[in-house]
Amino acid sequence: MGIKLGCIADDFTGATDLANNLVQAGMRVLQAMGVPPGPLSADVDAVVIALKSRTVPSAEAVEDSLAALRWLQEQGAGQIYFKYCSTFDSTKDGNIGPVTEALMDALDTDFTVATPAFPENKRTVFKGYLFVGDVLLHESGMQNHPLTPMTDPNLVRVMQSQCRRKVGLIDYSHVQQGPAAVRQRIADLRRAGVGIAIVDALTNHDLASIGSAFKDMPLLTAGSGLAIGLPQNFGISPGSQAAVLPAPGGARAVVSGSCSVMTNAQVAAFIKSGRPAFAVDPARVAAGEDVANGILSQALPLLDGGPVLVYSTADPGSVKAVQEKLGAAQAGAMIEHVIAAIARGLVEGGVGQLIVAGGETSGACVQALGISQMQIGAQIDPGVPWCHAHTDIPGNQGIHIALKSGNFGGEDFFEKAFAASAL
Ligand SMILES: Nc1ncnc2c1ncn2[C@@H]1O[C@H](COP(=O)(O)OP(=O)(O)O)[C@@H](O)[C@H]1O
Ligand SMILES: O=C(O)[C@@H](O)C(=O)COP(=O)(O)O
For residue 146 and ligand 1, the question of a CB distance below 6 A is answered with: yes
Residue 323 CA to ligand 2 centre (angstroms): 22
Do the domain assignments include residue 241?
no
- Average pLDDT rounded to a whole number, residues 25-53: 93
pLDDT band at 422 (very low <50, low <70, confident <90, very high): low
Share of the chain above pLDDT 70, in %: 99
Query: For residue 377, what is the enclosing H or E element?
Result: strand 373-381
* 56/155 same-domain check: yes
What is the CB-side half-sphere exposure of residue 305 using CA atoms within 13 A? 11
33 and 122 co-located in one domain: yes
Please tell me the predicted confidence (pLDDT) of residue 240. 78
Over the stretch 119-143, which tens digit does the pLDDT of each residue have?
Answer: 999 999 999 999 999 999 999 999 9
Same domain for 297 and 208:
no
| CA distances, 221 to each of 18, 79, 112, 125, 282 (Å) | 12, 11, 7, 14, 35
User: How many Å from the N-terminal Cα to the C-terminal Cα in the chain?
Assistant: 37
Number of domains in the chain: 2
pLDDT class of 41 with cuts at 50, 70, 90: confident
Instruction: Please check whether residues 201 and 263 belong to one and the same domain.
Output: no
Average confidence (pLDDT) over 104-121: 97
In a domain, 391, yes or no: yes
Q: Is residue 400 part of a domain?
A: yes
Q: Are residues 283 and 169 in the same domain?
A: no
Q: Closest by alpha carbon to 59, among 23, 90, 99, 27? A: 99
The answer to whether the beta carbons of residues 132 and 122 sit under 8 Å apart is: yes
Q: Decide whether any atom of ligand 1 lies within 6 Å of the 314 Cβ.
A: yes
Nearest to 170 by CA among 125, 135, 212: 125
Instruction: Confirm whether 239 is domain-assigned.
Output: no
Closest among 52, 59, 47 to 2, alpha carbons compared: 47
How do residues 371-403 score in pLDDT, each as one tens digit?
999 999 999 999 999 999 999 999 999 999 999
Same domain, 158 and 14: yes
Query: Which residues have CB under 6 Å of ligand 2?
Result: 11, 13-14, 17, 85-87, 223-224, 358-359, 383, 405-407
User: 332 lies in a domain?
Assistant: yes
Measured in Å, residue 172 CA sits from the centre of ligand 2 at 24
> Is residue 198 within 8 Å of 156, Cβ to Cβ?
yes
How do residues 230-265 score in pLDDT, each as one tens digit?
999 999 988 877 778 899 999 999 999 999 999 999
Distance 85 CA to ligand 2 centre (A): 5
Residue 312 Cβ inside 6 Å of ligand 1? The answer reads yes
Q: Establish whether residue 21 lines the binding site of ligand 1, counting it when its CB lies within 6 angstroms of any ligand atom.
A: no
Determine which helix (DSSP H) or strand (DSSP E) holds 196, and give its type and residue range: strand 194-199
Q: Which atom of ligand 2 is nearest to the CA of 121?
A: 3
Residue 62 near residue 99 (C-beta atoms within 8 A): yes
88 and 191 fall within a common domain:
yes
pLDDT at 1: 67
282 close to ligand 1 (CB < 6 Angstrom): yes
Residue 225 and residue 273 in one domain: no
* Structural domain range at position 325: 251-421
CA distances from 385 to 59, 239, 348 (A): 31, 15, 23
pLDDT cut 90: percent of the chain above it: 92
- Amino acid, single-letter form, for residue 327: G
Q: Are residues 9 and 147 in the same domain?
A: yes
Query: Would you say the CB of residue 147 lies under 6 angstroms from ligand 1?
Result: yes
Say if residue 220 is in the same domain as residue 272: no
Residue 245 inside a domain? The answer is no
Ligand 1: distance of its center to the CA of 406 in Å? 9
Name which of 15, 19, 145 is nearest 90 in CA terms: 145
Q: Has residue 423 got a pLDDT over 60? A: no
Pairing relation of β-strands 373-381 and 351-357? unpaired
Predicted confidence (pLDDT) per residue in 166-210, tens digit: 999 999 999 999 999 999 999 999 999 999 999 999 999 999 999
Cis amide linkage into residue 95, ω under 30° from 0: yes
CA-nearest residue, atom 10 of ligand 1: 332
CB under 8 Å to 87, separation ≥6 — which residues? 116, 123, 130, 132, 137, 140, 142, 150, 407
- CB pairs under 8 A, 24+ apart, for 134-139? 137/87, 137/88
Q: For ligand 1, pick from 258, 281, 405 the residue to mutate: most ligand atoms within 8 Å of CB.
A: 258
Identify which of 279, 364, 382 has the alpha carbon closest to the alpha carbon of residue 56: 364
Per-chain mean pLDDT for the chain: 95
CATH number, domain containing residue 327: 3.40.980.20
Residue 420 has pLDDT above 90, yes or no: no
415 shares its domain with 389: yes
